[in-house]
A and B are shown apart, each in its own frame.
Chain A
Amino acid sequence: MSRLARSMVELTRFHARSLHRNKIALFFNIIFPLLMVAIFGGLYGTPAASRGGGLVDGTGRVLTAFDFLMPGQMAVMVTAAGFVTVAITMAGQRRDGSLRHLLSTPLSVGSWTAARVLANVLMAGVQGVLLFVFAALLFDVSPPANLPGTIVVVLVCTLASLSMGIFVGTLVKGEATAMAVVMPIYMVLIFLGNSAMPLLDAPRFIQVMLPWVPTYHMTEAMRAVMMFGEGLGAVTKELAILGGLAAGLLGIALALMRRQYTIR
């Protein structure tokens, strides 16, 4: 195996450990969303049983509770892993000097980031499989209607949440500070992301904010592709917004990291 391949494998494993070894991270990345599925699924029963609850989207499509729950909790999962866990882990590694130590070796900021992306993409795959297996076993939820499209959408959502995590991680030092910054934002992302409750009938001041909330676009795109089997062409706008966010924030974060960790 080449040196680059070896380092990518080890770095990805290293990053991945931060996503599941920390008990708090494990709770937010996997257990909490599955609990939400169990609780809300328990309230509504199966998708068939929850149909006809009066939920209709903007296109007149009748929605079940699971059309909200599954994309919503998938968005919660990738946001917890990409935004919350990465920001807190990175801020901790900046405070204790371990990130600086690692980047004082021949490792480049670009390789570090690439491995971070890979680890979170793998994690998103595990999260998605767990989510659907769990929901299928408990509530007879069907697998994603458009699996290849779902993979692409989840990938873009992962990149968007990860870019937010790395961006915050480059700005703050220490887990406590990072927690104080990311948790309020995370709460807003969950509640305004259409992931905890349908916001179709929310007051106007909330409706106005929704286009500015990344998780809102995540759940919209995932619902269309994952639950209704639509093609990627139907979610171009959402993918463009999330992709643009990912490219912009990652670009800024990489520039900041290069300033912080290469010779200055």
Chain B
Amino acid sequence: MGEAKVVAEGLTKRYGDVLAVDDVSLTVHAEEIVGIVGPNGAGKTTTIEMMEGLRKPDAGRCTVCGFDSVRQNRQVRERIGISLQQAGLPEEVTVLEVLRLYASLYANPVPVGDLLHQFGLEDKARTRTEKLSGGQRQRLVLALALIGRPEVIFLDEPTTGLDPQARRDLWDVIRGLKREGRAIVISTHYMDEVEHLCDRVLVMDRGRILASGTPRELMNEYGPESVVEIELDQRHVDTAALSGLDAVTGVKVDDERILLYTAHTARTLMDLAAYAQRMNLPLGDLRTRSAGMDDVFIALTGRSVRA
């Protein structure tokens, strides 16, 4: 693991009566991607903004590359690249023009041509930003975040609103940034993103860190061994009966699907089949799968990440 680039200790932020972030501590090293996950309002963005030096914590402190985010804000801004949650790009300017503008703000910027090539935007160089697709916009935002050769990159929900292919393309880019030795903090509410991208994860809800570790550690510690998903008419759901099925460790009703968390898939399936036959229940769209970060989140908070 590389040297510590971001060290946050006891970050706390309150808006009126609402405690938005409550005593969050975090260290991010070079060549590491740390994910902050949680539903809307969990405190992810406020946490990231305090680390970036865009928001002053009420308590706690954060250093980035050894500089205090508040007192040495200017030095911090020279060393970080930011992709804000609301990926704002100026309009009525071309991709090339906005890259040149941002390049002029740093002492030793990456050549604009190199960034256009790296992010596959060469053929869009003379296109106005408002005419870019969602994926192209996000790639441009990432290019802007990198233009000052930052040691630390903060990406606040960078793939929100992108189609699956564009998301995966962006993941490849982010992995490449990690290989270049950068420390990356990414907030997201996509659990698959966390599983595929992050070396470590913080699960946040209501301003607090509920758990942290590698995705595998969290799944081992908080996730069930596997999940049986069935489509069942809500009127026929008897959660108490389903909880009593063989090896079931928990039941979750999620929209029209029932999630049975189980320690032994085969035994649960056999018992479920017998129960359905006894009760004359149609089992629609039955699936089994290993537990994922979604299940970790549900186990930790009792609700879905998008709730």
Q: Do these two chains really belong together in a complex?
A: yes
Complex Cα spacing A185 to B87, Å: 32
Contacts of A100 in B (CB 8 A): 84, 88
Residue pair A98, B90 in contact (C-beta under 8 Å) = yes
Interface membership of B70, Cβ < 8 A: yes
Chain B 54-81 per-residue mask, 1 if CB under 8 angstroms from chain A, else 0: 1110000000000001100110011000
Which of A9, A22, A100, A263 is packed against the most chain B CB atoms within 10 Å? A263
Contacts of A93 in B (CB 8 A): 88, 90
Name A23's closest neighbour in chain B (CB-CB): B92
Name B87's closest neighbour in chain A (CB-CB): A97
Interface membership of A99, Cβ < 8 A: yes
**Count of A interface residues, CB-CB < 8 Å:** 28
Contacts of A263 in B (CB 8 A): 53-56, 69-70, 73
* Minimal beta-carbon separation of B160 from chain A (angstroms): 13
- Of B55, B74, B88, B106, the residue contacting A101 (CB under 8 A) is B88
Interface membership of A264, Cβ < 8 A: yes
- Of A14, A22, A97, A262, the residue contacting B88 (CB under 8 A) is A97
- Of B54, B84, B106, the residue contacting A106 (CB under 8 A) is B106
Complex Cα spacing A262 to B54, Å: 7
Residue pair A7, B104 in contact (C-beta under 8 Å) = yes
Interface membership of A104, Cβ < 8 A: yes
Residue pair B104, A104 in contact (C-beta under 8 Å) = no
Residue pair A7, B105 in contact (C-beta under 8 Å) = yes
Residue pair A104, B84 in contact (C-beta under 8 Å) = yes
* Minimal beta-carbon separation of A98 from chain B (angstroms): 4
Interface membership of B82, Cβ < 8 A: yes
Residue pair B54, A101 in contact (C-beta under 8 Å) = no
Interface membership of B148, Cβ < 8 A: yes
Chain B 87-102 per-residue mask, 1 if CB under 8 angstroms from chain A, else 0: 1111111000100111
Residue pair B90, A106 in contact (C-beta under 8 Å) = no
Complex Cα spacing A6 to B107, Å: 10
Interface membership of B32, Cβ < 8 A: no
Contacts of A140 in B (CB 8 A): none
Chain A 192-212 per-residue mask, 1 if CB under 8 angstroms from chain B, else 0: 000000000000000000000
Contacts of B100 in A (CB 8 A): 10
Chain A 5-17 per-residue mask, 1 if CB under 8 angstroms from chain B, else 0: 0110111011001
Residue pair B56, A264 in contact (C-beta under 8 Å) = yes
* Minimal beta-carbon separation of B155 from chain A (angstroms): 13
Contacts of B97 in A (CB 8 A): 13-14, 17
Name B85's closest neighbour in chain A (CB-CB): A97
Contacts of A3 in B (CB 8 A): 104-107
Residue pair A104, B92 in contact (C-beta under 8 Å) = no
Residue pair A106, B105 in contact (C-beta under 8 Å) = yes
Interface membership of A21, Cβ < 8 A: yes
Which of A6, A9, A10, A101 is packed against the most chain B CB atoms within 10 Å? A101
Name B residues whose Cβ lies closer than 8 Å to a Cβ of A. Answer: 52-56, 69-70, 73-74, 77-78, 82, 84, 86-93, 97, 100-107, 144, 148
A and B contact pairs by CB, cutoff 8 A, 14 listed = A6-B104, A9-B104, A10-B100, A10-B104, A13-B101, A14-B101, A101-B89, A105-B102, A106-B78, A106-B106, A263-B55, A263-B70, A263-B73, A264-B56
